[in-house]
């Protein structure tokens, strides 16, 4: 019962954390883009200013001034800029480096920063232009993008840290919030478990909050009160019916005993009365077992092997007298939670059926085996088996085959067997068999 | 039977009370009738051998009062005679301290047999004796053996329980239902008379060795353990 709840708590917490984080991630992403654009614009502006400066010098004294300025700048090189001036033969006149970088083609003339290009040189990215000055002098001016990229990388690290932090905090906050909600649901679930286990009078204690959960608890309590009242009424009703039916029957029985001289008729009448009470008891037993189904109340640890042996012993003499063979194979010390009287009735019903339908020479196999899931009981006979027309409904009340109308019975035996099995949480099945009838009962294992 | 034994009948149905009283008188006992739970409990303080209690009485369910009666010091044996006659009801009654439980509608013979068994229990002294002897028929309780005229009769464990229970009520009718309850500890009616088959086998075994009938059938009621050709048993 705990696992699905914990999973729900986890899911809620994860949803909260992921939603919060995803929203902030979108916000931070937009901001990142903005910063990146601004930095690139600033870098382009710096390059344009450089070129303007060089252009002004060129206007004054042409190549000589350029050469001097570049030499001067190269001497004070910060590594943040790249300048190169060559003559028409490719000889370096001045610059921060000795050769023209491969990634930057020479495009156009003049000192404009338009169509500046990004290129990579020695693992570093640069923003720059290559121009040809009149007379065939190639000029290169570029600015390193490294500072900008470092800033962006720092920004990315910050964003990543923030995201992780937000996930953690969101997770924790979500977990706490979900735990609070799930805790209150767990309380109601625990109550439902107790009720399912048979404690129909179980209720939640402690104060009730004035919210939806409090309302839910109130509703659940009202429902349980009603079920309990109905259940009590059902029990009382069956007792009352028993009293009102059996008291007059009893008066009749006593009056019958005063009749003299008609013994056969009196015996017949007594027999009819006995049958009527038997049908009536079986119906009450069935409905009581069905009403108590799933509730562990009234069940105690019971040696099923011992009870099976006792019932087999009880019927052994009878089967022998009828010319049947009763073969028992009963695994020892198979314990279950059970009601001895009910299970005794169930086994008696099954053995009675087997004896009733089998003909001399037939065999009955009464087997109790230990399996991992719990004790498995089978009663198999080599009798006529079930007619097809009632196969699907043999466990229903008053089901009897046309074929068996001449045999005594009222069609409640297997219905009671099923009700008793269900009462004990046991599973009934009728595995296919070549000849005869087999009924298998899988009992739940007794938890130690 | 002690002719002065008094039996208290707590029953709210007049006719049933009168019928039970007639049976009690037939047993040579004196019946006293009360019709409510409170009156019954008050009256139970007197000297009674057996109390026949209905269950659904004005004032409540008598099986809930059994513990109270015992606490009052009543030593009377209690037979619950009730319309709540399902196996589960009987087990509940016995678990709550009733000494016997009979469902309505009951047969006079059945009630008579049960009252006799209870009266016998009430007057029976606890014997340290290991031996139950009926003429030449001897039952040894510790060794769990049966001998007739020194010849061993081979009986199964269940047959031994059967003969012991019948021997304790020797000379009186024991019913099939009593045997099922007392010997097999089963409180429901299995349908066919499985008990008859077991008693039949035991009877044949005993008769073979004894050369005379030892267990007799009482028509429609049950069996009588009568091991001696003539009356007069010694325990």
DSSP class of A306: H
Q: What is the pLDDT of residue A10?
A: 81
A211 close to A187: Cβ distance less than 8 angstroms: no
Q: Does A352 touch chain B (CB under 8 A)?
A: yes
Q: Rounded distance, CA B183 to CA B165, Å?
A: 7
Q: How far, in Å, CA of B49 to CA of B64, rounded?
A: 20
What does the pLDDT average to over A392-408?
Answer: 78
Interval A186-239: pLDDT, tens: 888 888 888 877 777 888 888 878 888 888 889 999 999 998 888 888 878 888
Domain contains A180: no
- What per-residue confidence (pLDDT) applies to B231? 45
Residue B184: its chain A contacts at CB < 8 A?
A: 310, 314
Mean per-residue pLDDT of chain B: 87
Q: Which of A229, A256, A291 is the last residue in one of the domains?
A: A291
Residue of A243, A249, A318 with shortest CB distance to B192: A318
List CB contacts (< 8 A) between A257 and chain B: 107-108
pLDDT at A136: 85
B60 is a domain residue: yes
| Residues of chain B with C-beta less than 8 angstroms from the C-beta of A288 | 86, 88
CB count within 10 Å of CB B152 equals 10
In a domain, A394, yes or no: yes
In a domain, A112, yes or no: yes
* DSSP class of A393: G
CATH classification of the domain holding B39: 3.40.50.2300
Residue B234, pLDDT score: 40
* pLDDT tens per residue, range A53-110: 888 888 888 888 888 888 888 888 777 888 898 888 888 888 888 888 888 888 888 8
Same domain, B176 and B101: no
- pLDDT at residue B1 greater than cutoff 90: no
Q: Using a CB-CB distance cutoff of 8 angstroms, which residues of chain B are in contact with residue A250?
A: 13, 16, 83, 104-106
Provide mean pLDDT across the span B54-62.
89
Across the interface, do A314 and B184 touch by the CB < 8 Å criterion? yes
**Which H or E element spans position A190?**
helix A146-196
B180: distance to nearest CA of chain A, Å? 10
The pLDDT score that the predictor gives to residue A448 is 64
Residue A285 lies in a domain: yes
Same domain, A245 and A111: no
Residues of chain B contacting residue A246, judged by C-beta atoms under 8 Å apart: 83, 85, 103-105
* B232 within some domain: no
Same domain, B110 and B185: no
Quote the Cα angle for A394-A438-A406, to 5°. Answer: 50
Q: Within an 8 Å CB–CB cutoff, is residue A262 touching chain B? A: no
CA B41, CA B46: separation in Å to the nearest integer?
Answer: 10
User: How far off is chain B from A183, nearest CA to CA, in Å?
Assistant: 41
Cα separation, B5 vs B138, in Å, equals 31
- In this structure, the answer to whether residues A431 and A310 fall within a common structural domain is yes
Whether A84 and A217 share a structural domain: no
Ranges A24-38, A344-358, A407-421, B148-162: which has the least confidence: A407-421
Run of H or E including A158: helix A146-196
A282 vs A269: CA distance, rounded Å: 20
Could you tell me if A359 and A365 are in contact, meaning their C-beta atoms sit under 8 angstroms apart? no
Q: What total of structural domains would you count in chain A?
A: 3
With 90 as the cut, is the pLDDT of residue A346 above it?
Answer: yes
The answer to whether A350 touches A439, Cβ cutoff 8 Å, is yes
CA distance B14 to chain A (A): 10
The answer to whether position B230 is within a domain reads no
Instruction: Let me know whether B109 and B10 are in one domain.
Output: yes
Backbone phi, then psi, for A207, in 5-degree steps?
A: -70, 155
**What percentage of chain A carries pLDDT values higher than 70?**
97
Q: Which domain, by its residues, includes A225?
A: 212-291
Question: Are B13 and A250 an interchain contact pair (Cβ–Cβ within 8 Å)?
Answer: yes
Minimal C-alpha gap between B233 and chain A (Å): 31
Residues B90 and B49 in one domain: yes
Chain segment A254-274, per-residue pLDDT in tens = 888 888 888 889 888 988 888
Pick from B98, B7, B3, B110: which is nearest to B49 by CA? B7
Q: Is A279 on the interface with B (CB under 8 A)?
A: no
**Do residue A285 and residue A305 come from a single domain?**
no
Q: From B70, B99, B123, give the residue that closes a domain.
A: B123
What confidence score (pLDDT) does residue A312 get? 93
Output the 3-class SS for chain B.
CCCCCEEEEECCCHHHHHHHHHHHHHCCCEEEEECCHHHHHHHCCCCCCEEEECCEECCEEHHHCHHHHHHCCCCCEEEEEECCCCHHHHHHHHHCCCCEEEECCCCHHHHHHHHHHHHHHHHCCCCCCCEEEECCEEEECCCCEEEECCEEECCCHHHHHHHHHHHHCCCCEEEHHHHHHHCCCCCCCCCCCHHHHHHHHHHHHHHHHHCCCCEEEECCCEEEECCCCCCCCCC
The separation between CA A328 and the C-alpha centre of its own chain, rounded to angstroms, equals: 43
**Which of B70, B88, B123 is a domain's end point?**
B123
CA distance A412 to B19: 33
Contact between chains at B190 and A317 (C-beta distance less than 8 A)? no
Please give the Cα distance from A194 to A205 (Å, whole number). Answer: 13
| CA angle in degrees (0–180, nearest 5) for A19-A25-A27 | 110
**Cβ atoms of A279 and A271 closer than 8 Å:** no
Query: Using the beta-carbon criterion (under 8 Å), do A246 and B83 form an inter-chain contact?
Result: yes
- The answer to whether residue A236 neighbours chain B at the CB level (below 8 Å) is no
Q: Which domain holds residue B19?
A: 6-123
Q: What is the pLDDT of residues B70-97, one digit of tens each?
A: 888 888 999 999 998 888 899 999 999 9
Is residue A402 predicted with pLDDT exceeding 50?
A: yes
Helices (H) and strands (E) in chain A, counts: 7, 12
Can you tell me the distance from the alpha carbon of A370 to that of A299, in angstroms, rounded to the nearest whole number? 20
Same domain, B110 and B137: no
* Contact state of B187 with A341 under an 8 Å Cβ cutoff: yes
Asked if the model's pLDDT at residue A315 lies above 90, the reply is yes
Q: Are residues A19 and A107 in the same domain?
A: yes
- Residue pair B227/B137 in contact (Cβ under 8 Å)? The answer is yes
Residue B124 has a pLDDT of: 66
Which residue from B85, B158, B191 is facing A352, i.e. has the nearest CB?
B191
Residue B36 domain-assigned (yes or no) = yes
Contact predicate B10/B51, CB 8 Å: yes
Confidence band, pLDDT 50/70/90 cuts, at residue A135: confident
Find, among A283, A286, A295, the residue nearest to A342 by Cα.
Answer: A286
Answer whether residue A204 is part of any domain.
no
Of the partner residues B158, B188, B220, the one whose CB lies closest to the CB of residue A267: B220
Closest Cα of chain B to A307: distance in Å?
Answer: 10
Q: What are phi and psi of B206, to 5 degrees?
A: -65, -40
Asked if A246 lies within 8 A of B86 by C-beta distance, the reply is no
Question: Do B188 and A344 make contact, defined as CB atoms within 8 angstroms?
Answer: yes
ipTM of the complex, rounded to two decimals = 0.85
pLDDT band of residue A175 (cuts 50, 70, 90) is: confident
Final residue of a structural domain among B123, B141, B158: B123
Question: Is B154 within a domain?
Answer: yes
């Amino acid at each position: 019962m705990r696992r699905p709840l914990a999973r729900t708590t986890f899911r809620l917490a994860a949803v909260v954390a992921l939603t919060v984080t995803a929203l902030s991630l979108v916000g931070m992403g937009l901001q990142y883009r903005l910063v990146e654009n601004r930095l690139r614009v600033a870098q382009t502006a710096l390059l344009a200013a450089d070129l303007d400066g060089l252009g002004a010098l060129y206007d004054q004294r042409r190549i000589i001034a350029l050469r001097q300025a570049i030499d001067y700048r190269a001497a004070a090189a910060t590594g943040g800029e790249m300048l190169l001036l060559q003559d028409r033969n490719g000889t370096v006149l001045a610059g921060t480096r000795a050769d023209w970088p491969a990634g930057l083609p020479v495009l156009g003339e003049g000192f404009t920063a338009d169509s500046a290009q990004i290129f990579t040189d020695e693992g570093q990215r640069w923003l720059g232009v290559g121009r040809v000055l009149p007379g065939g002098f190639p000029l290169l001016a570029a600015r390193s993008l490294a500072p900008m990229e470092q800033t962006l990388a720092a920004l990315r690290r910050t964003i990543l840290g923030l995201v992780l932090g937000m996930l953690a905090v969101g997770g924790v906050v979500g977990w706490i919030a979900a735990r609070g909600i799930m805790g209150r649901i767990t309380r109601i679930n625990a109550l439902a478990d107790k009720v399912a286990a048979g404690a129909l009078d179980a209720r939640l204690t402690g104060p009730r909050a004035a919210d939806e959960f409090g309302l839910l608890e109130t509703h659940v309590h009202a429902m349980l009160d009603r079920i309990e009242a109905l259940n009590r009424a059902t029990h009382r009703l069956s007792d009352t019916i028993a009293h009102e039916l059996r008291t007059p029957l009893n008066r009749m029985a006593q009056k019958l005993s005063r009749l003299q001289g008609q013994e056969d008729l009196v015996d017949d009448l007594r027999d009819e009365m006995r049958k009527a009470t038997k049908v009536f008891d079986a119906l009450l037993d069935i409905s009581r077992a069905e009403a108590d189904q799933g509730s562990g109340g009234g069940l105690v640890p019971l040696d099923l092997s011992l009870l099976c042996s006792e019932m087999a012993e009880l019927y052994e003499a009878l089967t022998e007298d009828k010319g049947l063979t009763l073969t028992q194979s009963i695994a020892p010390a198979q314990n279950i939670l059970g009601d001895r009287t009910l299970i005794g009735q169930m086994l008696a019903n099954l053995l009675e059926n087997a004896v009733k339908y089998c003909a001399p020479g037939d065999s009955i196999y009464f087997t109790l085996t230990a399996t991992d899931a719990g004790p498995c009981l089978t009663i198999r006979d080599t009798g006529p088996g079930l007619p097809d027309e009632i196969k699907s409904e043999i466990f229903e009340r008053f089901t009897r085959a046309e074929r068996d109308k001449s045999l005594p019975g009222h069609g409640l035996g297997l219905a009671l067997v099923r009700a008793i099995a269900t009462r004990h949480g046991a599973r009934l099945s009728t595995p296919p068999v070549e000849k005869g009838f087999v009924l298998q009962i899988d009992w739940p294992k007794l938890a130690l | 039977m002690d002719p002065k034994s008094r039996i208290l009948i707590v029953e709210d149905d007049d006719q049933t009370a009168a019928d039970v009283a007639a049976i009690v008188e037939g047993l040579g006992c004196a019946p006293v009738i009360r019709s409510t739970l409170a009156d019954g409990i008050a009256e139970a303080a007197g000297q009674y051998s057996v109390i026949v209690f209905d269950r659904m009485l004005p004032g409540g369910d008598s099986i809930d009062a059994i513990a109270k009666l015992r606490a009052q010091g009543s030593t009377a044996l209690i037979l619950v005679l009730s319309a709540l006659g399902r196996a589960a009801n009987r087990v509940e009654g016995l678990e709550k301290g009733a000494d016997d439980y009979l469902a309505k509608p009951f047969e006079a013979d059945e009630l008579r047999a049960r009252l006799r068994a209870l009266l016998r229990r009430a007057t029976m002294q606890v014997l340290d004796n290991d031996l139950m002897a009926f003429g030449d028929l001897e039952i040894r309780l510790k060794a769990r053996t049966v001998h007739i005229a020194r010849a061993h009769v081979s009986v199964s464990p269940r047959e031994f329980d059967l003969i012991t229970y019948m021997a304790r009520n020797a000379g009186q009718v024991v019913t099939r239902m009593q045997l099922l309850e007392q010997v097999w500890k089963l409180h429901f009616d299995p349908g066919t008379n499985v008990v008859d088959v077991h008693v039949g086998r035991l009877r044949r075994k005993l008769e073979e060795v004894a050369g005379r009938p030892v267990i007799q059938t009482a028509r429609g009621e049950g069996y009588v353990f009568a091991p001696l050709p003539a009356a007069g048993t010694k325990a």
